[in-house]
Amino acid sequence: MVLRGCSGEEQALLLAAAGSVSFSAAKGGTETASKALSWPARSAHAGAVECGARAPDAERLSSPAGVPGLSGTMAPYRIRQYEDGDYEAVRTMFGHGVMEHAPAAFIYMLKCPQAQLHFLGLFLAVLAASGSLLVSLLALLLALTGGWFCSRSLWTDYVQQSLRNDLLDIRRTYLEAADSCLWVAEAEGVVVGMVGAVLPDDPSEKGCALELKRMSVGREHRGRGIGRALCRTVIRFAQERGYSAVVLNTSMVQYSAQQLYESMGFRRVSQRSPSLLESFLQFSIFYYRYEIPGSR
């Protein structure tokens, strides 16, 4: 670059100053981006235990053509076995991934006829008692606000329960237990996805299937095939151990997850409501099964 009207020494000083500012700005941006909300953590055990899974080679993907702001080649990712240093990242990713579905669950509740009748009945009752349209609207608003917090609390409770159960001692649950494992997808040294395989809770599936659990991919890394690669890793893991199927469950509002699993060949086999409230709201958990080709 040439700066007109400046001597050679002045140009050198100005360019040096500009470079210093650019470096400081880039450094500040990196430090800001590195800060992330984390869920309550527990200490992980040291050491290394192989769960016997073969991690696929790193895959290099290109940005979709015609997408503004995306050009060239995306950073490659690789799928590897969980390590103790991934503890915080895995727990945080799981928590954030689950809580993304709270708004969709609330919207589903608002569309439920039973909930609509409840809110309408409340509105009419307050209107009849007070004779004030404003008071009735305020009562309805309070009821909707309470419904949102109630819906969100169900997802928060699920996250906290999971963090206290299988994601508390990840090594014991996934690496030391028989026919179990946890993998992460890593891009540029950062965990961007995760998935686990465990023995299923359903007694009828034990001995013939493994359960896919805790599938999650960071929002900014979706659309790159990471979810499909993680899914294939679990299927291959089950096949290598002589199992004939992989089973999983997901909620009815996790639409992207349902599309992924069905595109991979999973078949929905049943649906259940885990509680009386969810049964009243007709909210279901979908159960899927994948039959491994050529298995016994």
Q: What is the pLDDT of residues 40-91, one digit of tens each?
A: 333 333 333 457 544 444 444 433 333 333 333 466 889 999 999 999 999 9
Q: What average pLDDT does this structure show over 210-219?
A: 96
CA 77 to chain centre: 17
Please give the pLDDT value at position 74: 60
Q: Cα(146)–Cα(103) distance, rounded to whole angstroms?
A: 14
Predicted pLDDT at 40: 38
Q: Is the pLDDT of residue 242 over 80?
A: yes
Q: pTM here?
A: 0.73
- The residue assigned the tokens 């895959």 is 59
Residue 19 reports pLDDT greater than 60 = no
Confidence of residue 97 (pLDDT cuts 50, 70, 90): very high
Q: Rounded CA gap, 235 and 256, in Å?
A: 19
How confident is the model over 104-149, as pLDDT tens digits?
A: 999 999 998 989 999 999 999 999 999 999 999 999 999 999 999 9
Give every CB contact of residue 134 below 8 A, 6+ residues apart in sequence. Answer: none
pLDDT digits (tens, 9 = 90+) for 244-273: 999 999 999 999 999 999 999 999 999 998
Q: Which tokens hold the place of 46?
A: 């040291």
pLDDT tens figures, 178-198: 999 999 999 999 999 999 999
Which is more confident, 54 or 286? Answer: 286
From the CB of residue 272, how many other CB atoms can be counted at a distance below 10 Å? 11
Q: What confidence score (pLDDT) does residue 75 get?
A: 64
